Amino acid sequence: MAAAGEPIIEFRGIRRTYGSGEAEVRALDGVDLTIRRGEFVAIMGPSGSGKSTAMNIIGFLDRPTTGTYLFEGKDVSALNRDQRALIRRHYLGFVFQGFNLLARTSALENVELPLIYKGLGRAERSALAAEALAKVGLQGREHHDPSELSGGQQQRVAIARALAGDPVVILADEPTGNLDTTRSREIMELLVRLNREDGITIVMVTHEEDMAAHAGRLVTFIDGRVASDRAMPAREAAQ
């Protein structure tokens, strides 16, 4: 494990193109970006700016066309599908705008999902999942189905799922996009707490300034490039 403050995600001249020839679309056009352990980075940008593509590459769901991606200092640009699945399994946690919980499956079993693929036994899974649910303030709701939970609670289950696998980085893709202001603030406070207390690096895509204000750093994408990259004012001030 690298020490706090070391680069954990490094993009060097990352390009991602779709199609070829005349129809070629450059979603990312030479991106250099370094994210250090323990950071809370917000990514903003208009639609089509490449922020989602960048998130997919950071999250090992996609691969750069050219350029180098260093993860914990190792070149991971050319990993195949299964190798990328292993990185997701052991290092990453995902939180989505639409929660993406399994329907008709209890909160506990949803949170256990990544642990199944980690190969943990039932008892251990169930204990870790319950712990993660307690951490997001959902103790007592372990056996509720997603349909019996509010939007804010569902997103907490999703965060618990991301947390259960003991990730190095949590990737949040518009985590408050489907929530009202109060629930949104609660979710953001939860993410901030995980970042501060557990030292989990968080990368979050958002299009709301208010949400980005919770982060320590704001990266803005325009036309497939990093347009601005600045530290945010102290978060205490934002609250």
> Residues interacting with other proteins, by CB under 8 A?
56, 59, 61-62, 81-82, 85-86, 88-90, 92, 94, 96, 100-102, 104, 113-114, 116-119, 161, 165
Q: 87 vs 213, which CB is nearer to other proteins?
A: 87
Q: How far is C-alpha 56 from the chain's CA centre?
A: 10
Shortest CB 118 distance to other proteins, Å: 7
Q: Supply the minimum distance, in Å, between the C-beta of residue 56 and other proteins.
A: 6
Q: Which amino acid is at 202?
A: I
Closer to other proteins by CB, 51 or 88: give it. 88
Minimum CB separation of residue 157 from other proteins in Å reads 12
* CA nearest neighbour of 208 among 168, 174, 237: 174
Q: Environment class of residue 140 by beta-carbon count within 10 Å: exposed (0-12), middle (13-18) or buried (19+)?
A: exposed
Alpha helix locations (H) across the chain? 51-58, 81-91, 107-117, 122-135, 151-164, 181-198, 209-212, 235-238
> What are the structure tokens assigned to 209, written together?
């300034």
**Of residues 101 and 211, the one with the C-beta less far from other proteins:** 101
Shorter beta-carbon distance to other proteins: residue 39 or 109: 109
Six-digit token pair at 137?
């303030």
We find the least distance from the C-beta atom of residue 209 to other proteins, in angstroms, to be 25
Least distance to other proteins, CB of residue 116, Å: 6
Q: State whether the Cα torsion 210-56-12-203 is positive or negative.
A: positive
To other proteins, the closest distance from the beta carbon of 111 in angstroms equals 10
Which CB sits closer to other proteins, 201 or 216? Answer: 201
Residue entry with tokens 């050319």: 78
Q: Which residues, in sequence order, are bridge partners of residue 221? A: 226
Q: What's the start-to-end Cα distance of the chain, in Å? A: 32
25 vs 102 by CB, closer to other proteins: 102
